[in-house]
Amino acid sequence: MRTYDPEYENKVREFNAGAGRKAYIRTYGCQQNVSDSEKIAALAENMGYELCDSPESASLVVFNTCAVRHSAEQKILGNVGQLHALKEKNPSMITVLCGCMTQQEHVVEDIKKRYSFIDIVIGTSAVHELPRLIFSRLTGGRKIRTLYDESGEIVEGIGNVRNEAFRAFVPIMYGCNNFCTYCIVPYVRGRERSRRSGDVLAEVKSLVASGCREVTLLGQNVNSYREPEKGTGFPQLLRDVAALEGDFKIRFMTSHPKDASDELIDVIASCDKLAKHIHLPVQSGSDRILKAMNRKYTRGDYLSLVKRARERIDGLCITSDMIVGFPGETEADFEDTLSLVDEIGYDSLFTFLYSIREGTPAAKMPDQVPRDVKQKRFDALLELQTRKGFERNAAMKGLEFTVLVDEVKGDAEGGVKLLSSRTDGNKIVEFAGPAELYGNYARVRITEPMSWLLKGELVD
């Protein structure tokens, strides 16, 4: 662990690299990438760049990429291709590719061949090197490729430029050691490493002091958090964050079911500041497939965990991720997935078609499921979840909730706005109200539950 050394940054500032210039940062993928982009934005601003919303007017364009599924990579490569025309119009524009996609050797080789106009390609743990690399390129240095900062060291002190003042992502650990057989993340994000609790607490404290209402603690598997000096785990970190003064909520993601302990359940149950929501990705309802996925829990373990959590935590919302069409998945395995979803009754479910990721064990497994079979199963699962989600939401009709307003969607009748908000359980509630509620808590009553969201009205 070390603190960001601003020596190069100072040099770059002297050179005034970004002065009078604009930077455009586009983020793909998960919250981890959003958080990394907030650091890239801070580095760019320190260099004098002004952040902007489109690549056309930018002198620095950064694509922070995701590799979790083939479709994500294809979309990104399409967008990278479109940069070529811009670069021809404006040859002094600096183009940067970073993130999970560019952590893979074969992708970098492909980019060098097909998109040779790209200036800088770096991996996931080299974000702090960006000012130095941009500076070098601006001063005539050759094209640079830093694939991987081998140490994977956490660099503190970079700062963050966040879009919203009322809620924030706070990473607590990086990387993953679980090696689920379908997943690219451990290969592109490296081994697990945790931030010092003191650094996490200081960041949350300063966010709350500046008016932040909700922090989401981030990690690929937050339950693996280990304080690097004291060795304490995630439940203790949650207790410490909850002990900070202020009116704010704590969320976290993602929890791997194999490590979600009773101690964690107790903390959620007993701390008011903790949102009563847990994202608990199950991936499949079939024991055979869970084993092939290397998830390290059975359907029975998962069901009993959900039962304990629901018994202990009033009004708990549970959401999950599910993959359909993992290699070797039979109709019977898929029926197990459907029956699990039926039995649990998730508040919300993110469903994915299995996507082959080069370099992962599942990519080489026999019996890959044909595309049309995957799609049929996907549709069936979606239909079931739409029904189950509606059942869960229907039970909320007439009830009141405190929500955090996170979007002004447009005009509503009576000169007010249509607002979108989130309950403690992370459910979306839309209602009409004054625009000033944006970023604040409001009290709403549910009037019309739907499958994917709830309609409500403001309670005085």
**Interface positions with ligand SAH (CB under 6 A):** 68-69, 182-183, 185, 220-221, 254, 256, 281, 283, 321, 323, 352, 354-355, 357
Nearer to ligand SF4, 25 or 340 (CB): 340
Structure tokens at 28: 């793909």
Residues 424 and 277 sit within 8 Å (Cβ to Cβ) = yes
173: closest CA among 134, 200, 208, 204? 200
* Count of H-run helices and E-run strands, the chain: 13, 21
Nearer to ligand SF4, 185 or 212 (CB): 185
80: closest CA among 60, 65, 99, 58? 65
Nearer to ligand SAH, 30 or 408 (CB): 30
Should residue 178 be labelled a site residue for ligand SF4 when binding is judged by CB under 6 A? yes
- How far apart CA 236 and CA 252 sit, in angstroms, is 14
Nearer to ligand F3S, 31 or 236 (CB): 31
- Could you tell me if residue 123 is left (phi over 0), alpha (psi between -120 and 50 degrees) or otherwise beta? beta
Query: How many CB atoms within 10 Å of residue 335?
Result: 14
| 144 strand-pairing partners | 120
What is the H or E stretch that residue 278 is in? strand 277-279
Stretch that binds ligand SF4, among 59-67, 121-129, 176-184, 414-422 (CB under 6 A): 176-184
Should residue 185 be labelled a site residue for ligand SF4 when binding is judged by CB under 6 A? yes
- How far apart CA 292 and CA 322 sit, in angstroms, is 15
Chain residues 250-269 in contact with ligand SF4, contact rule CB under 6 A: 256
Rule CB under 6 A: which residues touch ligand F3S? Answer: 29-30, 32-33, 66-68, 100, 184-185, 188-189
Question: Considering the complex, what minimum distance in angstroms separates the CB of residue 180 from ligand SF4?
Answer: 3
Site string for ligand SF4, 189-218 (x = CB under 6 A): ------------------------------
- How far apart CA 357 and CA 363 sit, in angstroms, is 6
Nearer to ligand SAH, 271 or 365 (CB): 365
Q: For residue 135, what are the CA distances in angstroms to 16, 40, 64, 171?
A: 10, 14, 19, 27
Please choose which of ligand F3S, ligand SF4, ligand SAH, none residue 434 contacts, taking the beta carbon within 5 to 8 angstroms, the exact cut-off set by kind.
none
| 419 strand-pairing partners | 408, 431
95: closest CA among 58, 142, 127, 125? 58
Question: Considering the complex, what minimum distance in angstroms separates the CB of residue 189 from ligand SF4?
Answer: 7
Question: Considering the complex, what minimum distance in angstroms separates the CB of residue 426 from ligand SAH?
Answer: 16
Should residue 179 be labelled a site residue for ligand SF4 when binding is judged by CB under 6 A? yes
Question: Considering the complex, what minimum distance in angstroms separates the CB of residue 187 from ligand SF4?
Answer: 9
Nearer to ligand SAH, 59 or 220 (CB): 220
Nearer to ligand SAH, 36 or 129 (CB): 36
Should residue 180 be labelled a site residue for ligand SF4 when binding is judged by CB under 6 A? yes
Question: Considering the complex, what minimum distance in angstroms separates the CB of residue 334 from ligand SAH?
Answer: 15
Stretch that binds ligand SF4, among 4-12, 159-167, 182-190, 378-386 (CB under 6 A): 182-190
R_g of the chain, CA atoms, integer Å: 23
Question: Considering the complex, what minimum distance in angstroms separates the CB of residue 278 from ligand SAH?
Answer: 12
- How far apart CA 49 and CA 22 sit, in angstroms, is 5
Query: How many CB atoms within 10 Å of residue 449?
Result: 22
328: closest CA among 358, 353, 364, 365? 365
What is the H or E stretch that residue 205 is in? helix 197-209
Should residue 183 be labelled a site residue for ligand SF4 when binding is judged by CB under 6 A? yes
H runs (alpha helix) in 262-370:
262-270, 287-292, 299-312, 331-344
For residue 247, the 8-state DSSP code is S
- How far apart CA 18 and CA 46 sit, in angstroms, is 9
Question: Considering the complex, what minimum distance in angstroms separates the CB of residue 253 from ligand F3S?
Answer: 11
Please choose which of ligand SF4, ligand SAH, ligand F3S, none residue 186 contacts, taking the beta carbon within 5 to 8 angstroms, the exact cut-off set by kind.
ligand SF4
Should residue 309 be labelled a site residue for ligand SF4 when binding is judged by CB under 6 A? no
Question: Considering the complex, what minimum distance in angstroms separates the CB of residue 193 from ligand SF4?
Answer: 14
For residue 370, the 8-state DSSP code is P
For residue 407, the 8-state DSSP code is E
Residue-level length of the chain: 460
Nearer to ligand SAH, 27 or 421 (CB): 27
Chain residues 379-398 in contact with ligand SF4, contact rule CB under 6 A: none
Please choose which of ligand SAH, ligand F3S, ligand SF4, none residue 179 contacts, taking the beta carbon within 5 to 8 angstroms, the exact cut-off set by kind.
ligand SF4
Please choose which of ligand SAH, ligand SF4, ligand F3S, none residue 100 contacts, taking the beta carbon within 5 to 8 angstroms, the exact cut-off set by kind.
ligand F3S
- In the list 27, 221, 319, 348, the residue contacting ligand SF4 (rule: CB under 6 A) is 221
Tell me which residues touch ligand SF4 (CB under 6 A): 176, 178-180, 183, 185-186, 220-221, 256
